[in-house]
């Protein structure tokens, strides 16, 4: 798929510095013969966040701007938690924004 010019959405990239996971789209650059990650152009919600895999229905609701109640999230310290999450623009780019109350 990459060689055919299509981008793939990859989940669970792990940051070497922080240990946090994130998803991004990757594409193949035939000129440089490298895989190019694109962490900044996420137009749709990720498939997972904090080890919670969103269902298709949850992703559809998030993409529509709805807030969903999620369970089974896991913090970077390994603790599970529940939160309401929204997919919205914050700090100049779209991301999952949790609410704990």
Q: List, for residues 25-70, the tens digit of each pLDDT value.
A: 777 888 888 877 776 556 788 888 888 989 999 999 999 999 999 9
pLDDT for res 2: 61
Between residues 51 and 11, the one the model is more confident about: 51
Query: Is there a domain that residue 26 lies in?
Result: yes
Strand partners, 48: 53
Q: How many residues does the chain have?
A: 101
How many domains would you assign to the chain?
1
Query: Is there a domain that residue 41 lies in?
Result: yes
Query: Is there a domain that residue 2 lies in?
Result: no
pLDDT band at 1 (very low <50, low <70, confident <90, very high): low
**Whole-number mean pLDDT of the chain?**
82
Query: In which element (H, E) is residue 45 found?
Result: none
pLDDT for res 32: 86
Question: Phi first, then psi: what are they for 26, rounded to 5°?
Answer: -125, 145
Candidates 77, 74, 76, 82; CA nearest to 99 is: 82
Structure tokens at 7: 């981008």
CA atoms within a 13 Å half-sphere pointing along the CA-CB vector of 22: 18
pLDDT band at 21 (very low <50, low <70, confident <90, very high): low
Q: What is the pTM of this model?
A: 0.62
Instruction: Give the domain range for residue 58.
Output: 8-99
Three-state DSSP state, 78? coil
């Amino acid at each position: 798929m990459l060689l055919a010019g299509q981008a793939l959405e990859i989940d669970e990239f792990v940051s070497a510095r922080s240990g946090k996971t994130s998803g991004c789209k990757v594409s193949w650059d035939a000129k440089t013969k490298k895989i190019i990650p694109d962490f900044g152009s996420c137009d749709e919600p990720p498939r997972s966040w904090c080890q919670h895999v969103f269902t298709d229905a949850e992703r559809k609701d998030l993409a529509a701007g709805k807030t969903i109640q999620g369970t089974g999230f896991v913090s970077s310290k390994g603790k599970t938690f529940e939160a309401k999450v929204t997919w919205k623009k914050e700090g100049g780019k779209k991301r999952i924004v949790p609410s704990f109350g």
